[in-house]
Amino acid sequence: MKLSFVIPVYNEEENIPELYKRLKQALANDFRDFEYEIIFIDDGSQDCSIEVLEGLHNQDSNVKAIEFSRNFGHHIAITAGLDSAEGDFVVMMDGDLQDQPEEILKLYNKLREGYDVVYAERANNKSGLINRASSLLFNWLIRKLIDEPIVINGTIFRIMTRQAVESVKLLRERNRYIVGIIGWVGFRHASQKVEHDKRLAGKTKYNLSKRLSLALSAIFSFSSYPLRLIVKTGLFFVFMSFLVGAFIVYKKLFYGVPVLGWSSLISAVLIMGGIQIIILGVIGEYVGRNYIETKNRPLYIVKKYLHK
C-alpha cells in the first residue's frame, strides 16, 4: 500500500521543514507498513521554498517536488500534485500546518469504513473571524446555488482513493474549484472531525480579492443560477411596469392628473440602466470564462520535477 501526500506551497520556506518533520513522525507512528511519497508543489514561490525542497529531496527520496514556472494558484498546484501522485490513497493538505499530520490517521480510518473521499471538518477552526464568516457564507451560498446534487465542502484537507483521483484527473477545466470538481465526480463522500491549528509561520496567501475570485469561479463554474436570476429580474420589472402603468391610468381617470415629476422619471432610468449593466456583467462572466476554456491552454507549466 502506498500513500501520496499532495502539498501546494507558495512562499512557505519557514513551514516546510517543520511540516516534513511532523509528517515523518506521523507516518512512523501511524502508517508503519506503508510506502509513501510526499509531493510538494512549489507554486512560483519568491522565497527559498524550492531550495528547502531540494534539500529535503536530496536527503530523502520519498520527498518529491514540482516547481512551477510561475504562480498558477492553489487549486492548480493541487491538480499538478494529483496528476503525478502514484499512491493507492492520496492525501491533500495545505503547507502551513493548519492541517495537522497527526490527524491523517482519522481520515484514513474513516475511508476504510468504505468511502472514496473523506474530507476534514474543522472541529476547532482556528482561522480568523473574517475568514470563518466568509467561508461559512460561501459554503451556504454555493450549496444553495449549485445545479447538480454534489457534495461541496470547503476544506482542502482530505484523503481519496485511487479511483476517485483518476476520475478527478479527467476534468481539465481552467476555472478550477477543486473541491467542487472532487464533489462532481461522485463516489461515496464522508466528513471526519479533525483538530485544526493556526498557521505556523508567515501570513495567509489568500487576500480578500483572491478569496472572492475563487468564490466567483466556484459559483460560475458550478451554477447557472445567475443566468436564471437575470430572467427573474426581467420578469419582475415587467410586472412592476404593469403596476405603475395601471396606477397612472387610475390617477388620470379619477383625478385627471397623470403622475408628474422629473425625479421619478430620472430615478427609473437610472435604476434600469444600472440593472442592465449588472446583467451584462453577469453574461460577460460566462462569456469570458467560456473564452478561457476554449483557448485550451495547459493548466500549468512545470519548470522542474524533483522526482527520484
Binding site for ligand UDP (CB under 6 A): 8-10, 12, 43, 71, 73-74, 77, 94-96, 98, 199, 204-206
Of these partners, Mg ion, ligand UDP, none, which one is at the site of residue 31 (CB under 5 to 8 Å by kind)?
none
Of these partners, Mg ion, ligand UDP, none, which one is at the site of residue 167 (CB under 5 to 8 Å by kind)?
none
Choosing from 13, 96, 99, 103, the residue that interacts with Mg ion (CB under 5 A) is 96
Residue closer to ligand UDP, measured from CB, 77 or 142: 77
Q: How far, in Å, CA of 41 to CA of 123, rounded?
A: 27
Q: Are 121 and 193 in contact (CB under 8 A)?
A: yes
Q: Are 35 and 4 in contact (CB under 8 A)?
A: no
Please report the DSSP string for 22-64 in residue order.
HHHHHHHHH-TT-EEEEEEEE-S-SSSHHHHHHHHHHH-TTEE
Q: How far, in Å, CA of 290 to CA of 103, rounded?
A: 39
Residue closer to Mg ion, measured from CB, 44 or 95: 95
Of these partners, Mg ion, ligand UDP, none, which one is at the site of residue 206 (CB under 5 to 8 Å by kind)?
ligand UDP
Q: Are 79 and 95 in contact (CB under 8 A)?
A: no
Of these partners, Mg ion, ligand UDP, none, which one is at the site of residue 12 (CB under 5 to 8 Å by kind)?
ligand UDP
Minimum CB–partner distance for residue 128 and ligand UDP (Å): 8
Choosing from 15, 45, 79, 98, the residue that interacts with Mg ion (CB under 5 A) is 98
Residue closer to Mg ion, measured from CB, 64 or 205: 205
Is the Cα dihedral 78, 126, 188, 182 positive or negative? negative
